[in-house]
Structure 1
Amino acid sequence: MTYAINGRVIAITGSTGGLGRALAIALQAKGARLALLDINADAVAEQVQSLGGGQDVWGGYVDVRSWEAVEAGINAAAAHFGGIDVMIANSGIAIASPMEKIAPEAFDRVIDINLNGAWRTFKAALPHVQQRRGYLMAISSMAAFVHSPLQAQYTASKAGVWAMCNSIRLEVRRLGVGVGTVHPTFFPTNMMDKVHADPAGVKIWGGNSKGLWKMITLEEVVAAILRGIERREDMVVVPAKNAIPARIPGLIRKWIERAGFRDRDIAEAVELAGDGLN
């Protein structure tokens, strides 16, 4: 059964980036009510106006590196709309730098935004999404499976997002909440503009003009994400021809999940678990 987008409240972090903007436009065309969240408050305000404003398009400030900011922003969005159906963790950055040169704080920043930021987003959104038996979606990458040089920080963060979502999916399925990850190859965004302005990035991926690293269109990625939401998919791979290397690591995992983790046992374990601080 199709999970209709029309009328759903869909929240997006990183809403003013290239993918975030394109997603917002496409989701609005499908009838979604939008909660647009970004660290750039002025850009969010402009984005809300560009989409017509009104009660069905709301914007707010979120810095995914701050738990307090994420919780406040998502709670404000839920208060405005009366709830949230779908949460898309879209905020992300990339840096091309080898371990021998990268500054430790630069490595930490990529991990904190891409991985920890997605976790904070899901953590804050879950109480609202749970009430509507909705769907959590995180934007990962083919970098979760294809680990390139000069990008240990990025590949680790995106592989971490994939693994994190696989674990969270088991925890929340008894609540009627779906969890999915999106794994596109290279596509045009402001992030890719920075890669192409970086001699190291150009050297590694050859300008992404041909071969294994050739870019696909932004429209292809957006269309795949919309299909993923409508199907509440566990994994969205773009383009589809990349599905084999992306899905092979999960074949055994699916068997283990079915054989080893029963919902009743997970529910009991959740009740027994602490907050991790002791």
Structure 2
Amino acid sequence: MSRTSLEGRVAVVTGAARGVGELLARRLSARGAKIALVGLEPDALEDVSGRLHTDSAHWYADVTDHEAMTRVAGEVGERFGKADVVVANAGVATGGPFMDSDPDAWRRVIEVNLIGSAVTARAFLPLLVSSRGYLLQIASLAAITPAPMMSAYCASKSGVEAYAHSLRAEVGHRGVRVGVGYLSWTDTDMVRGADQEDVMRELRQRLPWPSNKTYPLGPAVDRLVAGIERRSSHVYGQWWLRGMQGVRGYLPGVIGTVGQREMRRFAPRVQGMRTGLVGAGGAADERERSAPRGMPGVPGVPGE
């Protein structure tokens, strides 16, 4: 498939303060795209914006807030005149047994990862229709296969995959392409945060190769950029994920059998596991929700 130049295009990236979103913004900027950064950490977003090669601006917004995201989309349109690419990347995770999980944290994973993605698309679709643009929804290996101790994350990523496939059929005739990006364990704050729990780290390490490895961030993001340039329907951050699509129908049965054995092994150690959101991004989200109501947001600020 031929590639489309990103020179002069406008790309919106949610969850852009760190990890996949931050590096993706830098890679897209290096290819000439103007960047709109969206997230909950204004200082980090300002720092990212200041290090980009092209015109950029950043917005403080919770992707689950329809009014806030509608405002952001309007301001992006005013600031840049259009939006050609939107990457729904914002996400959080929690781990541990479902029966002992924190109900608020479990719900928040669904809200940010699934509902937040839909809110993002709803806000920006008018601009994407205008530009005949491209929406990339970041999913995960967790959309392809279930995993014990990750019920909220698997449910949310399965949901965004199905949602994006449905949306693709709805908006394709209007010139908008919709892609799903799949990532395995990638070296981000989220994965490092999950690995701080010994049980989660050891359970992952007992997965079959190649799903038991943590992969470097750079090559995965480069694959996402190539998918954006091709406006691809499916983008795989690690080469082997494409092959998982052909066997995904068998995976729930396999995981159900193997997972029971592993959970029996780890059962004495799962009591008392931390059940909140993991990683620095999860901590930022928890701070946002615990802040007093009425705290002012940060409007769009042009980057240097």
1:64–1:91 CA contact under 8 A, matched in 2: yes
**Aligned Cα root-mean-square deviation (Å):** 1.9
2:184–2:211 CA contact under 8 A, matched in 1: no
Counterpart in the other structure of 2:62: 63
Q: CA distance change for structure 1 residues 209 and 99 in 2, over 3 Å: closer, same or farther?
A: closer
2: CA distance, partners of 1:99 / 1:241: 29
**Structure 1: 5+ residue stretches without partners:** 251-278
Per-residue deviation, residues 21-56 of structure 1 (Å, max 9, x unmatched): 11111111100110011111222122222226x7x1
1:96–1:200 CA contact under 8 A, matched in 2: no
Letter in 2 for 1:142: L
- Say yes or no: does 1:205 pair with 2:204: yes
1: CA distance, partners of 2:209 / 2:166: 35
**Identical aligned pairs, as a percentage?**
33
Per-residue deviation, residues 58-116 of structure 1 (Å, max 9, x unmatched): 11112112111111112211210001000000100111121110021111100000010
Counterpart in the other structure of 2:186: 187
Counterpart in the other structure of 1:39: 40
1: CA distance, partners of 2:153 / 2:199: 15
**Helix, strand or coil at the partner of 1:212:** coil
Q: Which structure 2 residues correspond to residues 139-178 of structure 1 after superposition, within 5 A?
A: 139-178=138-177
Counterpart in the other structure of 1:23: 24
Q: Which structure 2 residues correspond to residues 122-137 of structure 1 after superposition, within 5 A?
A: 122-137=121-136
- Point out the more displaced range, 196-205 or 137-146: 196-205
Letter in 2 for 1:145: I
1:178–1:232 CA contact under 8 A, matched in 2: yes
Counterpart in the other structure of 1:13: 14
Counterpart in the other structure of 1:109: 108
Q: State the TM-score, normalizing by the size of structure 1.
A: 0.85
Letter in 2 for 1:22: L
Counterpart in the other structure of 2:96: 97
Letter in 2 for 1:30: R
1: CA distance, partners of 2:25 / 2:206: 28
Q: State the TM-score, normalizing by the size of structure 2.
A: 0.78
Considering Cα pairs closer than 8 Å and 6+ residues apart, tell me whether 1 or 2 has the greater RCO.
2
Shift of 1:211: 4.8
2: CA distance, partners of 1:190 / 1:69: 26
1:99–1:150 CA contact under 8 A, matched in 2: yes
1:138–1:182 CA contact under 8 A, matched in 2: yes
**Structure 2: 5+ residue stretches without partners:** 250-304
2: CA distance, partners of 1:13 / 1:211: 28
Letter in 1 for 2:144: F
Q: How many residues are treated as equivalent by the alignment?
A: 248
Shift of 1:148: 0.6
Q: CA distance change for structure 1 residues 211 and 136 in 2, over 3 Å: closer, same or farther?
A: closer
